[in-house]
Amino acid sequence: MTLKVEQENPLVAGGSNQSGSNDFVKKLFLMLQEDSYKDVVRWTLNGDSFVVLNTNEFTKEILPRHFKHSNFASFVRQLNKYDFHKVKVSNEEKLSYPYGEDAWEFKHPDFKINDRESLENIKRKGPSVKKVVPVGTNGIGEVKVVQAPTCNHNFSQITNSQNHMKEQIESLKADNQALHQELNVLSTKYKTLVENIVAINTTEERNHRSLGILINCLLQAGIKLPPLDFPNPSLMTSGSPGTSAPQISTTNLPNPKFHVLLVEDDNVCIQLCRKFLVKYGCQVTVVTDGLNAISTVEHTKYDLVLMDIVMPNLDGATATSVIRSFDTKTPIIAMTGNIEDNDLVTYLQNGMSDILAKPFTKDDLYSILSKHLLTEPPKVDTDENAAAAIGAPTPVAPPAEVVSTVPVSVPVSVPVSVPVSVPVSVSGPGSVPTGPVPVPGSVPVSGTLPDRNGLGEPLKKKSRI
Amino acid sequence: MTEEKRQKLQDTGLVEWSVFSELVAMDEDEEGFSKSLFQSFVDQVHDTFQAIDENLKSKNLDQLSGLGHYLKGSAAALGLTTISSQCERIQNYGHKINFDNFDINDLHKDQHNDTNITSSSSNTNSKDDSIPSNINSSSHTSKPTTNSSDSAISRTIPDENSDDFWIELIEDALEKARDGFAKSSAALNEYFDNEL
């Protein structure tokens, strides 16, 4: 747009220039047509050029009268500006040249005797242009010539702004890089922080468990205890409504084919999904937020993790990326209602193995389970399970009574029955679930039960589920 | 007898039948499973609606979105599409996304000229009908003057940049979700022998 305007401007300028300057050519033309000074200046015989026969007379008589020029040289310059050229006469030609040795002959293709119309084609050249415009393309040539300085100007402007932009891009690049680095630093810090929180959580839980055991022992030994403010850390998480349900629970099956961790905060979804899983033949452990998911996966091996995304405390995507820093093998399936492409890419980048769109049917779930569970031989993990499950609480269980229960569980080949049967001997009063009733605690092992029971916090879960 | 009940519930069109029949099939191994599922859903709805009410007062859009998402998941899992679709609206409006291009002007019209949405709900609660005749055409023809005065009285419509705009949309979605829940739970209660 602007360029067009700038192109047009020289044209206009040239036009106005032309009308004014053309007066010079017209004056010259009229003077020659009148033929009143034929001894001084006149048309040549062909009529396509004119000749100044006597430069002295021309300068003295004609220039002051008709033109503003004070000397002949200035007149010639003016002619040159209108693209008139002196006709060169070679030495041989000079002999037969009719106008004498001192004659100056000037020629312009459009300056002819009796041809007034062609005069309009004669235009003044632009200032400071030395280049000779090719004859014949005069009109266009002039426009180009007039444009040239503007172009030059534009060009330098463009170059300037380009340089400016380059600088800006460079500084943006630098900024971007700095931000990237900062982001990396922050995400590393964030991950470390989350890991630390998880670690603290785990330690808290262990301490809680040990203290619970201690309290139990003291109670059994008949020592009266003052009332203690001793909440379970895993129950202290704040969350959406409905999460008053226990944070961690495990459904036990007599002969589970697989052990699945279900990470989900929605009570209805938990019940439904757990039902489907149990029907499929899975032992199901349920946790209701990302932090608990991390600590649970940390000390128990699962065949598969079903991970909700939007959860209190820590979202499923972040939890997965933290889990992936120590466990790259366990399939983690994202369960989500957000199935837009961007989200899916993010989930996969976070280390999710697959995605199960919510709401899902039983068949949707089963096809995902088959895909990820049936590819590897399912049998080995039960032993690992036992080892992992036993491994976790041992350092925290110094009291003799409890320690003694641990070896008992080892010879049992099916570890599933252990968490149900063992606590009975340890915990005193309180409700002890039997059969396929969910057992609280992140690890399906004896240590989890006594603390809750010992604190006089009877499990209200039964009514919930 | 159960067949009859089933047919009756299916005819209401309030539950996604493929989902519901799958849930009921689970009762084969565990009697009362589907009932307990709906029981906990009813509890959850009451809690969540209450939380939404509180957050509407404090205009906490982020919380509202989270609550919408939360209830959407369980409603969808149980095949209660009328509820889950309204919860989806709450979730999106809480993030200031007008994903269904809902026109707030319709809302303001609805408030004054009892139209299809509220009139459909009037089947269950007909006591709050201020306009005697519920049929659209008759209300329009009989009261042309009130229409013009209505528009003069009506509050200024908040624009999309203000939180009030989204609060108002969420209020609308919540109202419709409540309505959907009232109808669904009534139908389900009949199916589950009033044990929800």
Q: pLDDT over 90 for what percent of chain B? A: 42
Query: B183 or A9: which carries more pLDDT confidence?
Result: B183
Helix B33-57 vs helix A267-280: angle between axes, to the nearest 10 degrees? Answer: 150
- DSSP conformational letter for B134: -
Exposure string of B93-108, with b = 16+ CB inside 10 Å and e = fewer, is bbeeeeeeeeebeeeb
**What long-range pairs does A29-38 form, CB within 8 A, spacing at least 24?**
A29/A111, A29/A116, A29/A119, A31/A62, A31/A66, A32/A113, A33/A113, A33/A114, A37/A61, A37/A62
User: Kind of pairing, strands A41-43 and A49-52?
Assistant: antiparallel
- Specify the higher pLDDT residue, A167 or B7: A167
Q: Cβ of B73 under 8 Å from any chain A Cβ?
A: yes
CA B193 to CA A235: how far, in whole Å? 35
**How far lies A191's CA from each of A147, A184, A200, A261, in Å?**
63, 11, 14, 22
Query: Is A271's Cβ below 8 Å from some Cβ in B?
Result: yes
Dihedral (Cα; A421, A292, A295, A395), 10-degree rounding:
-50
**Contact: A268, B48; criterion CB under 8 Å:** no
Q: Looking at the complex, report in whole angstroms how far the Cα of residue B189 sits from the nearest Cα belonging to chain A.
A: 17
CA atoms within 13 A on the CB side of A393: 30
Quickly list DSSP for A370-417: HHHHTTS-SSTHHHHHHHHHHHTTGGG--SHHHHHHHHHHTT-S-TTH
Strands in A82-169 per DSSP E: 85-86, 104-107
- Give yes or no for A244 touching B (CB within 8 A): no
What's the confidence (pLDDT) of residue B137? 44
pLDDT tens digits, B116-159: 444 444 444 444 444 444 444 444 444 444 444 444 445 567 77
Q: Please report the pLDDT score of residue A143 as a whole number.
A: 57
Query: Which of A265, A272, A279 lies closest to B77 in CB terms?
Result: A272
Name the residue facing B77 among A240, A359, A465 (closest C-beta).
A359
Quick check: pTM over 0.80?
A: no
CB contact under 8 A, B43 and A337: no
Q: How far apart are CA B74 and CA A267, in angstroms?
A: 8
Dig out the tokens for B103 from the structure.
């026109």
| Ranges of chain A with pLDDT below 70 | 1-21, 126-146, 232-248, 251-255, 376-465
For residue A236, give the H/E element and its range. none
Q: Considering only CA atoms, which of A169, A5, A166, A22 is closest in space to residue A81?
A: A22
Q: Chain B window 11-70: which residues touch A at a Cβ cutoff of 8 Å?
A: 18-19, 22-23, 26, 29-30, 33, 36-37, 40-41, 43-44, 47-48, 50-51, 66-67, 69-70
SS3 A249: strand
Q: Among all residues of chain A, which has the CA nearest to that of B43?
A: A242
**Other Cβ atoms within 10 Å of B143 Cβ, number:** 15
* Best of A238, A267, A268 to mutate (most B CBs within 10 Å, chain B): A268
Cβ contacts from A onto B, under 8 A: 71
**In the β-sheet with A49-52, what is the strand arrangement from edge to edge?**
A41-43, A49-52, A104-107, A85-86
User: Measured between CA atoms, how close is B39 to chain A, in angstroms?
Assistant: 9
Judging by beta carbons within 10 Å of its beta carbon (0-12, 13-18, 19+), is residue A445 exposed, middle or buried? Answer: buried
Backbone φ and ψ for B186, nearest 5 degrees, come out as -60, -45
Region B171-187: what's the mean pLDDT? 93
Any CB–CB contact under 8 A between A339 and chain B? Answer: no
The residue count for chain B: 196
Q: Is the four-CA dihedral A360, A362, A366, A369 of positive or negative sign?
A: positive
CB contact under 8 A, A240 and B51: yes
Contact of A309 with A316, CB cutoff 8 Å: yes
Task: Please say if the pLDDT value at position B104 is more than 90.
Answer: no
Which residues in chain B have their CB less than 8 angstroms from residue A279's CB?
26, 29
Q: Which of B44, B78, B79 sits opposite A242 (nearest CB)?
A: B44
Helix (H) or strand (E) holding A76: helix A72-81
* Closest residue in chain B to residue A336, using alpha carbons only: B73
Q: Which residues of A touch B79 (CB under 8 A)?
A: 359
> Cβ–Cβ of B30/A275 closer than 8 Å?
yes
pLDDT tens digits, A279-302 = 888 999 999 989 889 989 988 899
Of A240, A267, A279, the CB nearest to B29: A279
Q: Which amino acid, residue A128?
A: S
Query: What is the structure's pLDDT at B125?
Result: 43
Report the pLDDT value the prediction gives residue A242, as an integer from 0 to 100.
Answer: 38
Distance from CA of B41 to the nearest CA of A (A): 6
